[in-house]
């Protein structure tokens, strides 16, 4: 069966969704998507968007069942996503792999180590920073069409779009601040990533508007059982650095 046929079948069966699945269904789905990804990686490297979709959904398969069954599913996800992170040369694909891997975490230092390593290379104006900002703008709907090149942007296939620091980022900012105020598992898992992303967006835009988010950032929780000791340490450092840089770049009298 072709990739499109397999993908259509999975959707028709209602497998790639937020519905509750049995442990066996989740394992089967993870294995099927993994096989498709390996096939495309090996034989159809040109189908970038399809590989992106596979890595995205592998990281969002819901794991239900006993503690042992959940761990087994998580290990399947971690294995393929970790290998994709190491083997993919495309920077957009590697970002998708690490984000999906983060979503499989939860007090898992092996995953947190990979996130920390990735973020060490996501610094102001780096390739990882540029790709992350560009993808965020597309994903949250701040940019969907480039007038200059008459290009429609589709998430997972950025074409020639790259953030230049001048595009509005209202939706990205609102979503990150909303997530920082949230205590749900998904928001907690991506907390370190969100803090870094927020700091890099501020940096790229001269810290304009940062004063409006100072209070929300200062009140952001970085203490949860879902965080490993390593993640707690890095969250503290990232939060403190962000607050310090806002103070250094925004007049104190207007912080709120």
Residue 36 is predicted with a pLDDT of 93
Residue 248 is assigned to a structural domain of this protein: yes
What is the average per-residue pLDDT within 40-65?
90
Together in a domain, 132 and 234: yes
pLDDT band at 239 (very low <50, low <70, confident <90, very high): very high
pTM, rounded to two decimals: 0.89
Residue 115 is assigned to a structural domain of this protein: no
Residue 202: other Cβ atoms inside 10 A: 22
Six token digits for residue 35: 């096989």
Helix axes 170-180, 191-204, angle to 10 degrees: 150
List, for residues 96-109, the tens digit of each pLDDT value.
999 999 999 888 99
Look up the domain containing 238 and give its range: 127-254
Q: DSSP characters for 96-107?
A: HHHHHHHHT-SS
Together in a domain, 96 and 174: no
Together in a domain, 54 and 96: yes
pLDDT > 90: what percent of the chain? 68
Residue 162 is predicted with a pLDDT of 87
Together in a domain, 95 and 142: no
Together in a domain, 96 and 179: no
Residue 184 is assigned to a structural domain of this protein: yes
Query: Could you tell me the maximum CA-CA distance found in the chain, to the nearest angstrom?
Result: 63
145 bridge partner residues: 152
CA-to-CA distance for 147 and 161, rounded, in angstroms?
11
State yes or no: pLDDT of 238 exceeds 70: yes
Residue 192 is assigned to a structural domain of this protein: yes
CA-to-CA distance for 154 and 137, rounded, in angstroms?
11
Number of domains in the chain: 2
Q: Where are the beta strands (DSSP E) in the chain?
A: 145-146, 151-152
Residue 142 is predicted with a pLDDT of 86
Residue 113 is assigned to a structural domain of this protein: no
The answer to whether 226 and 189 are in contact (CB under 8 A) is: yes
Residue 109 is assigned to a structural domain of this protein: no
Residue 114 is assigned to a structural domain of this protein: no
Together in a domain, 135 and 65: no
Residues whose CB is less than 8 angstroms from the CB of residue 244 and which lie 6 or more positions away in sequence, other chains included:
none
Together in a domain, 89 and 154: no
Together in a domain, 147 and 240: yes
What is the average per-residue pLDDT within 38-53?
91
Least confident of 104-113, 141-150, 244-253: 141-150
Together in a domain, 91 and 169: no
């Amino acid at each position: 069966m072709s990739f499109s046929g397999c993908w259509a079948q999975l959707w028709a069966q209602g497998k790639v969704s937020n519905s509750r699945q049995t442990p066996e269904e989740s394992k089967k789905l993870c294995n099927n998507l993994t096989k498709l990804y390996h096939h495309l990686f090996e034989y159809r490297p040109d189908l970038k968007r399809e590989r992106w979709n596979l890595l995205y959904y592998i990281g969002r398969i819901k794991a239900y069942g006993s503690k042992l069954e959940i761990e087994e599913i998580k290990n399947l996800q971690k294995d393929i996503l970790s290998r994709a992170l190491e083997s993919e040369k495309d920077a957009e694909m590697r970002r998708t792999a690490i984000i999906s891997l983060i979503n499989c975490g939860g007090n898992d230092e092996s995953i947190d180590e990979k996130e920390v390593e990735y973020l060490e290379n996501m610094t102001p104006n780096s390739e990882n920073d540029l790709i992350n900002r560009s993808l965020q703008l597309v994903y949250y709907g701040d940019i969907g069409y480039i007038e200059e090149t008459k290009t429609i942007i589709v998430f997972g296939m950025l074409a020639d779009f790259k953030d230049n620091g001048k595009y509005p980022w209202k939706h990205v900012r609102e979503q990150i601040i909303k997530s920082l105020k949230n205590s749900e598992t998904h928001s907690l898992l991506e907390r370190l990533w969100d803090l870094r992303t927020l700091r890099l967006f501020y940096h790229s835009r001269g810290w304009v508007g940062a004063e409006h988010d100072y209070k929300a950032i200062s009140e952001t929780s970085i203490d949860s059982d879902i965080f490993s000791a390593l993640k707690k340490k890095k969250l503290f450092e990232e939060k403190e650095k962000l607050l310090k840089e806002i103070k250094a770049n925004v007049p104190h009298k207007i912080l709120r």
